[in-house]
Amino acid sequence: MDRRFKARLEAQFGDRLSGPVRQRHDQTEIRIRPGDVVPVMTELHDNPIFRFEFLADLAGVDTGEVMQAVYHLWSDTTPDWLRVIADGLSRDDPRVPSVTFLWPGAEWMEREAYDMFGMIFEGNRDLRRIYMPPEYTSFPLRKDFTLPDDAARSPGGGFRHMEQTHIPANTPNTVRRLPGSRQLPSVK
Amino acid sequence: MSTAQRPSADDPRILLDQEAGVFEPVPPYPPRTEREAEFYTLGDGQMFLNMGPQHPSTHGVLRVVLKIDGENVVDLDPVLGYLHRGVEKLAENADYHQVISQVDPLEYVSSLFNEWGAVLSFEKLLDVEVPRRAEYIRVLSAELNRIASHALFMGWMALDLGGLTPILWSFIERDEIVEMLASLTGQRMLFNYFRIGGVNGDLNHDFMSRLGNWMSRATEQIEASQGLLNENEIFVRRMRGLGPIDTKTALRMCFTGPNLRATGVPFDIRRAHPYSVYPELDFDIPTRVEGDCLARYLLRVDEVKQSLRIIDQCLHQMPDGPVMAKLPRLLRPRPGRAYSAVESPRGQYATYVVSDGTDQPFRMRIHDPSYIHLQSVGLLMQGNLIADTMAIMASLDPIMGGVDK
Amino acid sequence: MALTKDKAGATGALVVPGRDKVAEPLVVPNTFWSSALPGAYTETHEPDHTHLREFEESGQGRRDDARWSGPLEIIPTKADYVLDLIRMNSLWPLLSGLACCAIEMMSTATSRNDLDRWGHFPFRASPRQADVLIVAGTLTTKMAGPLIRLWEQMPEPKWCVALGDCTCSGGRYKRSYSTVEGIDRVMPVDVYIPGCPPRPEGLMYGMMKLQQLVKQRRGHWPERAIGPTVPQDV
């Protein structure tokens, strides 16, 4: 946990952050709006006090209410990983600018996020499906795409598959779910 | 799947309609992206060659569409997804403990690193401290797995250039190591050995005796394999100068691992962002500056030697104690996010886990190094011959299980 | 409590009445998931071949009974036996590993567990030259098309071996959105080798089982009609 790094980030990006800088273990997390991705990333990449020249990961996350594009960066100026969350993409039309102008290696990571979530990365020259066949129509990792045998039946939820024939009457309502459906959880 | 109604390739009475992606390299729809349009327009004298999902190279099911001008490859477009099994989605529907066995078959040759990446993230979410003996056993078994993976790489490198002997020698080495790990973990390949908070079982007599046996012979075996290939004129002349990449491009293409270190950047996650007990172990980071296939090959051989050093130190410094932290069976971490990266034989293997407070991960994102490296095959392939495609791909050491998740 | 006696008159062990009853199993009715195929677990289904079914039923295919013809008919039918022996001892697999089980297949083919002892070493790269398709690794919906094409391109007589849990039944990826749950949904399988991954000894056992099938003319392949793999006027 690098406190001085947190101070540097707040000094540089103070008004652009859409949430507090959070630190836990060896990770520092900042949240920005999707429109700010290009200036923030350019700043992090070019500014000599940051020098985040290494993009470790680019992921998409579907929280059930919104979508996020999560970038992980590494620099030798700080021992922490920097996590940049571009928060607040709408689930119906998630658009975020692409970072392929800084890191061409992000092209396939963005393609994967498009394939799995439907996120459009504006500026990516090659945004087509990568895992699923080109004529596939769904986006598998979205929370409304449910597998047939889906997760309402976790043992942590009180379901003991091998031990009982029905959900017992005293299973609390918070875990009792309708079989075959998954209520969209919400996560910050 | 439309194959049930599809007419047969063998029936002479039925005319075959060309199905996209299987017969014709060019897809039947108009290009949807800029890069697709650029790739699928043929220049003068060029043609497409489809290196289909089944081909004699042993990396797995990768389809590459080559745009060739005579024997020279002008451009190429890898098509993935032939092994996409939906691990990230399945991980969302499994317990934290079950996820460990789900991520095993991603980079199946180096399974312990897949497990390590997952387990590190979970331990960060749960604030679990791993006992020191467990950490040492993790490092020991993982470095053994690294040697097995690199041994296999050496064999495949030669196999893709056409040499059939080194792969047999590599498999002898790998079989020995893997039988050792089987006596420790119970499985030859998809080990399922690491647990959240430790490992599944302590070292046993069978494993230690096999390990001692093997270590006394390990150096000579490596020297023998090297003697077969390193000075081999055909090998060296084919690989030297093939597929060079410079540091700046490598960083921009998000290279990690041996592929990055072969370009001159001494970036190793075990030193740059240490995890487990690596700060207490003494090892070097081999780095080379040429950035071509030969450098990548020689670098991995150097890494095997460093791994042997690490194993030696682990055996000497192994502390006593429990091998697993005491954890409840039902794990419910606080809502939060955790990212962790380990140095797998291919590069940075990272996992990003989002927890929502239940006993199943909300989002388990797996970042695989082979996936990133495969992007740059087109960059490295400029103007090379078709036969060199396989050599370059082999030198990047991709495993399609990890690429396709 | 009476001690029971067996036929020879010796007393048996102490028997407590009621203890030899098998406990009633807890039957959990399947309310969670059901197969789209009616009667999936109660009826026997024919393996779902592709187009070859109509071809078989139309009677146009030859039966592969490999009889000598012409002046060779005077040779007694032990020649079939010899042909089966020849076939079984040189089954050339197709080099088609998909995932993790491919590594175990390669491990079986290399020095320590040598598959060359049975004559199976040359892993042919081209399906036209291969006898047996060892499907090693998870079959996904995207790969199913190319794999069926490979199967169709192999000339008869051919056999199929399902190596590993993923090919037998979908394995650990059974509930995924892109896995074919078992290759017997798309091609006829002769030998199933379970395991994740199966040990090389398991694959060797499976190949020996296949050799047994070939020698004894059991399994799918004697009944599969063969058709032209090359159109007639080519």
More confident: A172 or B390: B390
Report which residue type is found at A116. Answer: M
CA B334 – CA B377 distance, rounded (Å): 41
Q: Is the dihedral of CA C49, C52, C58, C60 positive or negative?
A: negative
Cis peptide before C157 (omega within 30 of 0): yes
User: Subunits touching C (CB < 8 Å, at least 3 pairs)?
Assistant: A, B
pLDDT tens column, A136-149: 878 888 888 877 65
Tell me which chain A residues have a C-beta less than 8 angstroms from the C-beta of B255: 105
Model pLDDT, residue C89: 87
B189 touches chain C (CB under 8 A): yes
Please report the residues numbered 113 through 132 in chain A whose beta carbons come closer than 8 angstroms to any beta carbon of chain C.
Answer: 131-132
Residue B359 near residue B330 (C-beta atoms within 8 A) = yes
Residue for token digits 């990571």? Answer: A109
Q: What residues of chain B score a pLDDT lower than 50?
A: 1-22
Kindly report the pTM of this predicted structure: 0.81
Please enumerate in sequence order all residues whose Cβ is within 8 A of that of C18, keeping only pairs 6 or more positions apart, or say none.
none
Q: In the predicted model, is pLDDT for residue C232 greater than 60?
A: no
Indicate yes or no: CB of C140 within 8 angstroms of CB of B81.
yes
Q: B312 to each of B136, B213, B275, B281, C230, how far by Cα in Å?
A: 11, 13, 19, 10, 60
Q: In the predicted model, is pLDDT for residue A167 greater than 80?
A: no
Model pLDDT, residue A144: 80
Tell me which chain A residues have a C-beta less than 8 angstroms from the C-beta of B95: 154-156
Model pLDDT, residue B116: 95
Indicate yes or no: CB of B82 within 8 angstroms of CB of C52.
no
pLDDT tens column, B350-399: 999 999 888 889 999 999 999 999 999 888 887 788 888 888 988 998 99
Helix (H/G/I), strand (E/B), else coil: B42: coil
Tokens of C3: 């001690």
Residue for token digits 């001494």? Answer: B266
More confident: C47 or B160: B160
pLDDT tens column, A95-133: 999 999 999 999 999 999 999 999 999 989 889 889 988
**DSSP bridge pairs for A66:** A90
CA B98 – CA A81 distance, rounded (Å): 27
Indicate yes or no: CB of B365 within 8 angstroms of CB of A57.
yes
Model pLDDT, residue C121: 83
The secondary structure element, H or E, covering residue C161 is strand C159-163
pLDDT tens column, B90-136: 888 888 988 998 899 999 999 999 999 999 999 999 998 999 999 99
Residue B169 near residue B200 (C-beta atoms within 8 A) = no
Model pLDDT, residue B370: 93
Tell me which chain B residues have a C-beta less than 8 angstroms from the C-beta of C180: 1
Q: C27 to each of A161, A163, A166, A179, how far by Cα in Å?
A: 11, 9, 11, 19
**DSSP bridge pairs for C39:** none
Label residue C43 by pLDDT band (50, 70, 90): low
Model pLDDT, residue C124: 86
Label residue C79 by pLDDT band (50, 70, 90): low
Please give the domain boundaries of chain B with CATH numbers for all domains.
87-404 (1.10.645.10)
Residue A95 near residue A34 (C-beta atoms within 8 A) = yes
**Range with the poorest average pLDDT among A70-74, B90-94, C118-122, C229-233:** C229-233
Burial class (CB in 10 A: 0-12, 13-18, 19+), A94: buried
More confident: C80 or B291: B291
Q: In the predicted model, is pLDDT for residue C234 greater than 70?
A: no
The secondary structure element, H or E, covering residue B99 is helix B96-103
Model pLDDT, residue B195: 93
Q: What is the pLDDT averaged over residues A64-87?
A: 91
Model pLDDT, residue C78: 60
Indicate yes or no: CB of C33 within 8 angstroms of CB of A162.
no
Q: In the predicted model, is pLDDT for residue C10 greater than 60?
A: no
pLDDT tens column, C149-176: 888 888 878 899 999 999 998 888 887 8
Model pLDDT, residue A183: 42
CA A134 – CA C196 distance, rounded (Å): 30
Closest-CA distance, B330 to chain A, in angstroms, reads: 7
B54 touches chain C (CB under 8 A): yes
**In Å, how far from its chain's centre is CA C229?**
22
Q: Is the dihedral of CA B224, B230, B233, B236 positive or negative?
A: positive
CA C139 – CA C178 distance, rounded (Å): 9
